[in-house]
């Protein structure tokens, strides 16, 4: 009889845990793909909640949310889109949080191709340079600001290979379809250093800050997993993961 008595409270505990566990559908900026996958895995282990992730361009996510896409949370590549969604009544006003500050990097898959000061841009000895669509992706907007500030935009623009988002931009550069690419530091950093190729980490003073805000959307209001994930992003474990991928917090 004793095993039965033990089984009943254990079964009740498991049932209670499964009732409390919830799922949240999260739209995530493409530049944050790797760290968010790591955070979601730890979030599931620590809370029992599940984060269902979709990755893409912030501008496209905004349009999809406006058109009724059932996302419950947005991790944006900027701070403007969450603010706009709050103004339009499509996000929870007091849920907005800056989860990361992005770092732009000029990168080439070829070792030694990019110098430490980005002088390769001025020499112009390249045929193609990849960057994200500046109308949809904040990293693309930052890249245009850098080139404009350096007085190179007119000379370099004919060589643009434009990615829909930062993931596609990195693909262009990593496969050699473009010798250079303005990408997110998180895409080329591993264990605190550039994993391959060559890179110039663009000084933040050369472009507007890439503040990346998270917000709970109207569809996620009252969702236990959404509220738990927002809190989890502000915790030490998530912040350590964010920093390990080259972001400021």
DSSP 3-state assignment of 116?
Answer: coil
Q: What is the pLDDT along the chain (249 residues), one digit of tens a residue?
A: 454 454 445 444 444 444 478 999 999 998 999 999 999 999 999 999 999 999 998 989 999 999 999 999 999 999 999 999 999 999 999 999 999 999 999 999 999 999 999 999 999 899 999 999 998 888 999 999 999 999 999 999 999 999 988 999 999 999 999 999 999 998 998 777 888 999 999 999 999 999 999 999 999 999 999 999 999 999 999 999 999 998 988
CATH number of the domain encompassing residue 76: 3.40.190.10
User: How far is Cα 33 from Cα 55, in angstroms, rounded to an integer?
Assistant: 7
Predicted TM-score (pTM) of this structure: 0.80
Residue with the two structure tokens 């530091």: 185
In a domain, 206, yes or no: no
Which letter does DSSP use for residue 21 in this model? -
165 and 86 inside one domain: no
180 and 144 inside one domain: yes
User: How far is Cα 219 from Cα 174, in angstroms, rounded to an integer?
Assistant: 37
221 and 159 inside one domain: no
86 and 158 inside one domain: no
Provide the domain count of the chain. Answer: 2
Residue range of the domain that includes 52: 2-101+211-244
Q: Are strands 210-216 and 97-102 parallel, antiparallel or unpaired?
A: antiparallel
């Amino acid at each position: 009889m004793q095993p039965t008595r033990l089984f009943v409270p254990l079964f009740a505990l498991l049932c209670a845990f499964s009732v409390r566990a919830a799922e949240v559908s999260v739209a995530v900026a493409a530049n944050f793909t790797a760290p968010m996958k790591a955070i979601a895995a730890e979030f599931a282990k620590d809370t029992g909640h599940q984060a269902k992730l979709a990755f893409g361009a912030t501008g496209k996510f905004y349009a999809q949310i406006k058109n009724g896409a059932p996302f419950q949370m947005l991790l944006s590549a900027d701070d403007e889109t969450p603010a706009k969604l709050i103004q339009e009544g499509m996000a929870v006003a007091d849920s907005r949080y800056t989860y990361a500050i992005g770092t732009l990097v000029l990168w080439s898959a070829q070792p030694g191709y990019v110098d430490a000061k980005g002088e390769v841009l001025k020499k112009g000895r390249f045929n193609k340079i990849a960057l994200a669509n500046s109308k949809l992706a904040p990293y693309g907007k930052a890249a245009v600001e850098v080139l404009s500030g350096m007085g190179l935009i007119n000379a370099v623009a004919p060589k643009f290979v434009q990615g829909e988002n930062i993931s596609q931009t990195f693909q262009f550069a990593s496969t050699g379809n473009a010798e250079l690419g303005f990408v997110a530091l998180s895409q080329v950093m591993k264990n605190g250093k550039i994993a391959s190729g060559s890179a110039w980490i663009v000084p933040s003073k050369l472009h507007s800050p890439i503040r990346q805000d998270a917000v709970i959307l109207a569809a996620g209001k009252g969702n236990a997993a959404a509220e738990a994930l927002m809190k989890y992003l502000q915790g030490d474990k998530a912040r350590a993961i964010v920093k390990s991928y080259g972001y400021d917090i």
